[in-house]
Amino acid sequence: MIRKGFYFVFFFAALMMLNRCNSPEMPSPETSSYKILFLHHSTGNLIWNGKPKGFDAIRNWFRDVKAVPEWFISYNEKNGTDYYIEERSFPKEKPYGWKNYPYDYYNIWVKNGGQTSFMEEPTLEMLTPQWDMIIFKHCFPVGRIEEDTGMPDINSEEKRLENYKLQYLALKDKMLEFPDTKFLLWTGAALVERKTTPENAERTRAFFNWVKDEWDTPGDNIFIWDFYNLETEGGIYLKDEYARNPGNSHPNKAFAARVAPLFCNRIVDVIENEGSRTTLTGEKK
C-alpha cells in the first residue's frame, strides 16, 4: 500500500513537472512589445496573488501560481499578445518608508522629480522610458482623512481632503507630461468599520468620488480602476465578508480571487480600447 502511494505521488509529481515544462510563460521584458509596471504594497500583493482554484491550486504545490501573471500568460496565449507585467513595492520600506499616500507620490514624482532617484525611489522621468503602463495605488490608511483646516498645503503629509486634492492635481499635471505612457490609478483601499470613524469614512468616499467625477477626465493618458467601489459596494467601509477579518482591513483570499480578473480586464481594455469596453471596476460592458 505504501509502495502504491509512493508511485502515485511520483507519477503525479512527474506529471506536474511535465506540465510546467510545457506551460506558456510570461514574455521577458526585453522581448515584450508592451510592458506594464504595478506599484503597490500589501493589499496590491494580495490581489496579485489571488487564490488558486482547481488545477491551479494543485499546480501551486509545485510552482508558484500568481493570479495576475497567470491571467496574462493565458491571455497572451489565446490572443497572440505579448504583454509583460511586473510588480514592485513602491516606495520601499527603507530608506523612504512604507508610505504610498497622495503626498508620497507627489513628493517623489513631482516635488523631487527629475532624472535622478529620490531616496532610492525612481521618478517618472526614470520610469516612463521603460514602461508603457504604470499602475499605482494607496493602502487603506489613506482613508484616515481628518477634517479640513481651511489652509490647504500641498507639502503637508496630513491626511486631509484639501491636501489630497492639491497633491492629486499636481500628480495629474505631471502624468500628462508623459503622453506615451498610460497610467492606471486604483481608487484607494477601504478600511473596515472597526478601524475608522463614520466621519473619516465619509470623507474617504467623498475624495474618491471627486477623483472619479472631477479629477479624471476623458481623452488623456490617465485611467481608473475603482477598487474602492469593489470593496465597499456603495457603502463607506470595506465589507466584513471581503476582509481578512472584521478587525483587519486587508482583503481576504476569496475577494482577491474574484477581483483579480477584473483588474486584468481593466488593464487590457485600457491598452486596447482606451478603457471603453469595461466599467471602472473592470466588468465588461
pLDDT in tens, 228-246: 999 999 999 999 999 999 9
Query: Mean pLDDT over residues 72-78, rounded?
Result: 96
Please say if the pLDDT value at position 159 is more than 50.
yes
- Which range is least confidently modeled, 41-50, 52-61, 218-227, 259-268? 52-61
Nearest to 162 by CA among 146, 174, 175: 146
CATH number of 2-273: 3.40.50.1110
Residues 6+ apart with CB under 8 A from 74: 24
Please say if the pLDDT value at position 14 is more than 70.
no
How far the first Cα of the chain sits from its last, in Å, is 55
Query: Mean pLDDT over residues 30-51, rounded?
Result: 90
What is the total residue count of the chain? 285
Q: Which three cell numbers stand for residue 113?
A: 522629480
- What pLDDT is recorded for position 52? 54
Please say if the pLDDT value at position 135 is more than 70.
yes
Express each pLDDT in 170-217 by its tens digit: 999 999 999 999 999 999 999 999 999 999 999 999 999 999 999 999
pTM for the structure as a whole: 0.88
Identify the band that residue 9 occupies on the pLDDT scale cut at 50, 70 and 90: very low
Q: Which helix (H) or strand (E) holds 175?
A: helix 161-175
Q: Which helix (H) or strand (E) holds 15?
A: helix 2-22
Please say if the pLDDT value at position 107 is more than 70.
yes
Average pLDDT, the chain: 90
Residues 6+ apart with CB under 8 A from 202: 236
How far is Cα 277 from Cα 285, in angstroms, rounded to an integer?
6
Please say if the pLDDT value at position 18 is more than 70.
no
Output 90 or 19, whichever has higher pLDDT.
Answer: 90
Query: What DSSP string runs through 208-275?
Result: HHHIIIII--TTSSEEEE-HHHHHHTTSSS--GGGEEETTEEEEPHHHHHHHHHHHHHHHHHHHHHTT
Nearest to 203 by CA among 250, 165, 154: 165
